[in-house]
Amino acid sequence: MIIFGTRGVKSTLKEGTFHCPQCATQQNYKHKKVTKFFTLYFIPIIPLERLGDFVECQSCRGTFIAKVLDYQKQPSADQFLSEYEKAMKHSMVLMMLADGEIDENEMLTVQKIINKFGHNDVTLDELEEYVEEVKHRNEDITTYLKKVGPALNEHGKEIVIKCALSVAAADGNIDPEEIKMIEKMARIMEVSSTHLKGIIMEVTQPATQTFSQN
């Protein structure tokens, strides 16, 4: 049997120092590109197309669009809030809303994740306010991710999915409806089903249940 497929391969275009919006200090960065390769027996053989590029902070591992390199002065705190940070917050809230009711546990999980990943800590009250705002906008997760998906790099997409999984698992088990929704999210963001399986494994395996950013 011949096993073939495609895979995104990362390579570094450039390295240097930049003002990291997340660390809020000068840090080393790597400007990486992701190229889609045709794989044979899981080995990348032929480069097919460039999927995108991103700038990765070597300290916090936050990832940003390349434009961040143009910006060297003091940025305002929100200006460069990385896209994934916004996307993960929004997706988690949509995930919470998916089953109709929000329980305390879910709220605490979401708060914990936001405060772990982001640089804009939220209180439970602020989170409740944000939930109301999202409810009010009444936007389907598909519509939302279609808008932000293209701005996310591989790392960002992975984090969005991991966060959604953690919210789904907050009530003790991930039910089929929730899996369906996560599969839908993955499809919209063009995360392959194999990659998604890997992410699910990583999150649900008891040994790695604690949340890791990498």
List residues binding Zn ion (CB under 5 A): 20, 22-23, 27, 57, 59-60, 62
- Identity of the residue, 193 or 213, whose beta carbon is nearer to Zn ion in the bound complex: 213
Contacts of 129 (CB under 8 A, 6+ apart): none
- Identity of the residue, 22 or 111, whose beta carbon is nearer to Zn ion in the bound complex: 22
Name the minimum Å distance from CB 112 to Zn ion: 21
Structural tokens at position 11 = 């390579």
Name the minimum Å distance from CB 84 to Zn ion: 13
- Identity of the residue, 60 or 141, whose beta carbon is nearer to Zn ion in the bound complex: 60
- Identity of the residue, 65 or 188, whose beta carbon is nearer to Zn ion in the bound complex: 65
| Alpha helices for the chain (secondary structure H) | 83-98, 104-117, 124-137, 141-148, 154-168, 176-188, 193-204
On whether the CB atoms of residues 29 and 18 are closer than 8 A, the answer is yes
User: Would you mind telling me the total number of residues written for the chain in this entry?
Assistant: 214
Name the minimum Å distance from CB 119 to Zn ion: 9
55's enclosing H/E stretch is: strand 43-57
Structural tokens at position 196 = 């998604």
Name the minimum Å distance from CB 87 to Zn ion: 18
- Cα–Cα distances (Å) from 104 to 74, 128, 153, 181, in that order, read 38, 11, 31, 21
- Identity of the residue, 14 or 147, whose beta carbon is nearer to Zn ion in the bound complex: 14
CA distance 39 to 6: 5
Name the minimum Å distance from CB 25 to Zn ion: 8
